[in-house]
Amino acid sequence: MFWQVATVAWLAASQGPGAAAAPAVVATSPDGRNQIALTLRDGALHWAAARDGRAVVLPSRLGFAFRGAPALGDSLAVTAEQRAERDTTFAMPLGELARVRDHHREVRVTVTERGGLRRSFTVVARAFDDGVAFRYELPAQPQLGAFEITDELTEFALAEDMKAWWIPADVPSPDRQEMLWSSGPVSKLRLVHTPLTLVGSSGVHAVIHEADLDDYAGMYLQGRSESRTLRASLARWKDGAAVKGSTPFRSPWRTVQLADDAARLAPSVLALKLNPPSRLADASWLRPMKYNGIWWAMHVNTATWGTGPQHGATTANTKRHLDFAAANGLQGTLVEGWNRGWDGNWMLTGGTFDFLNATADFDLEAVAAYAKAKGVQFIAHNETATWVENYERQLDSAFARYARLGIRAVKTGYVGDTVNPLGHAHQSQYMVRHHRRVIEAAARHGIGIVMHEPIKDTGERRTWPNMLSREGARGQEFNAWGGEGGNPPEHETILFFTRMLAGPMDFTPGIFNLRVTRSGTGVPRTPLDARPRTTLAKQLALYVVLYSPVQMAADLPENYEGQPAFQFIRDVAADWDTSVVLAGEIGDYVAVARKAKGRDEWFVGAITDERARALDLRLDFLPAGRPYVAELYADAPDADWATNPEAVRRSRREVTSRSVLPARLARGGGLAVRLRPAR
Ligand code: NOJ
Ligand code: CA
């Protein structure tokens, strides 16, 4: 007997009072708290999810619309059902956790059309202690060979009008995901990106996202006016198709992370569990790193990417940055503007970017040799301006050359409009395929990728640990530009509970000159316009709060000279054995503790929004009974992001696992702490 009548009360209740229990197949998480159910309603397969016996997602539609073929999703009968339970643990070569346990229960339900084409599909659903997930599989079948999906019919019918933290996906250039976050009821949403973080009246937190986006279109969520139901909406090829494929085929996972409160949303590893194991034969060459670079100068307009008197990427200037990195224990130096193609309006002429050859004032061989001698990695920058065909043509030869020169990390960039010059959306299947090609080419040549204006993170780093980090959110660069006024003080306290749940971010923290004024633009500025709206202590705390195995010391070398607080950037780790969120509320504050990989050393970062705040941080994550020395970099009593951002106080004290560390955070402030065993 395949089809088991559900005994779960929440599912029957969701069908209205007095409704007969519908047949359903249910997977329950190992801790018994999360459930995902698959059920037929009027011949259509639906999914639903609950936590602690309360529906979070009501029965929601599943299926596909195709070009040139009838939609698949109605008049279905269940033709097979399977169950499984798995409990495995895998290591992350780089990560916010060294090891991830994947313990889940799974149900697979195959449905077949009762008439017409008699096509079949399977839905695989898994329940974990940290959420639920499902994916579609389209088995090989004569009636469904090559196909074009025009719409995925998946819905997320939320049981209540949850509060959503969202960024829009229907504004100009939305796919870079560099907008400011808003919050409000789901019933007011239009088109939004994932991860989408939702808060229910009971305090339950849910995050809708996707995992293993491998050969499919990126998913947005489409709201309907005054409705609690969100619908999957797929990024498109130029010709309007969403997904092109042929059977056998499987979709990415649709994931709903579930937690009791905001603090328990991170570290978020659901997507890692839903990606295939590592395909990197040897990951031993991968290194976490802190890096500086020829970068901020261009954003504050004191240097240019293009050649000329202000050119940033000269041989001499690069050597100066490499010297600084070597002298300060930074493992890498990023150089932007070293290659040919930046002169003029590079966004329009991006099809002529040359990734092999340097400008006349930049000696690539000499710089690479100098970097090697200094023990610093030269991070090559590849801005494509979304002219991806031009990039793909050079990919293998460029990466082969980099590898020969000892270059082990590349920062890619996709500054472009909503659609690339070929007309495909930034998060389309076309671009998903492109990014996979880049990651795989990099893997072949022993190169790690830091991607800007990326495809969203769906956990690829498990399969390809050389996918080091990416942007895909509003980073520090906005604080240099002004105009829109930079990031508000609450920005990073939202990022932590939204974008960061997808994976690492190259935010580029560490600006010490907090009164930066962008020169030479001719745009009149108010004093608060273009500058980070944080204190210096908060810039330090971001190294711990915003996880990335590559962390930039983003400011100009001269701005670190004579700054005692720079010691924290020298000391802080970028790769971790474990991570613990000590406290946090979305958009207000967050405090995180992380243990350095393979070392008896912990770091704590706490940040607040525009409000000053006092937090008592319990250090019970430390091993019991052993004294530690805490080095604190705290906001001075008179610190304030707007009026006195540089006022940071360094102090030391002895602590144990029983200590409570008082954190006094200024407006826009933070606290950064290093904890080492006391001798
Ligand atoms: C935008 C990226 O985010 C930034 O880091 C880079 O400097 C510019 N594009 C130029 O590629
Ligand atoms: Ca960017």
In the chain, domain spans: 9-160+213-253, 332-471
Report the top-level CATH class of 332-471.
Answer: alpha beta
Atom of ligand 1 nearest to the CA of 475: 3
- Would you say the CB of residue 490 lies under 6 angstroms from ligand 1? no
Measure Cα distances from 100 to 208, 267, 282, 480 in Å.
20, 10, 19, 37
Write down the pLDDT at residue 20.
Answer: 65
Asked about 477 being catalytic, the answer comes back as: yes
* Candidate of 452, 474, 481, 548 to mutate for ligand 1, largest count of ligand atoms within 8 Å of Cβ: 452
CB atoms within 10 A of CB 603: 23
* Candidate of 347, 426, 477, 478 to mutate for ligand 1, largest count of ligand atoms within 8 Å of Cβ: 477
Atom of ligand 1 nearest to the CA of 413: 11
Residue whose CA is closest, atom 11 of ligand 1?
383
- Would you say the CB of residue 555 lies under 6 angstroms from ligand 1? no
Residue with tokens 């040549």: 445
Residues in CB range of 604: below 8 A, 6 or more apart: 544, 582, 591, 592, 593, 594, 617, 661, 671, 672, 673, 675
CB atoms within 10 A of CB 625: 8
- Would you say the CB of residue 506 lies under 6 angstroms from ligand 1? no
* 9-160+213-253 belongs to CATH 3.40.50.170: no
Rounded distance, CA 564 to CA 541, Å? 15
Q: Among all ligands shown, which has an atom nearest to the Cα of 300?
A: 1
Residues in CB range of 60: below 8 A, 6 or more apart: 46, 47, 48, 154, 155, 156, 157, 229
Write down the pLDDT at residue 422.
Answer: 84
Q: Of 477, 490, 492, 601, which residue is the catalytic one?
A: 477
Write down the pLDDT at residue 520.
Answer: 54
Low-confidence ranges of the chain (pLDDT < 70): 1-7, 18-22, 172-174, 418-420, 483-485, 517-529
Q: What angle do CA 485, 489, 491 make, to 5 degrees?
A: 90
- 296 CA → ligand 1 middle, Å: 10
- 99 CA → ligand 1 middle, Å: 32
Write down the pLDDT at residue 1.
Answer: 36
- Would you say the CB of residue 415 lies under 6 angstroms from ligand 1? yes
Rounded distance, CA 578 to CA 590, Å? 17
The secondary structure element, H or E, covering residue 633 is: strand 628-635
Write down the pLDDT at residue 327.
Answer: 98
Write down the pLDDT at residue 525.
Answer: 53
- Would you say the CB of residue 337 lies under 6 angstroms from ligand 1? no
User: How do residues 536-575 score in pLDDT, each as one tens digit?
Assistant: 999 999 999 999 999 999 999 999 999 999 999 999 999 9
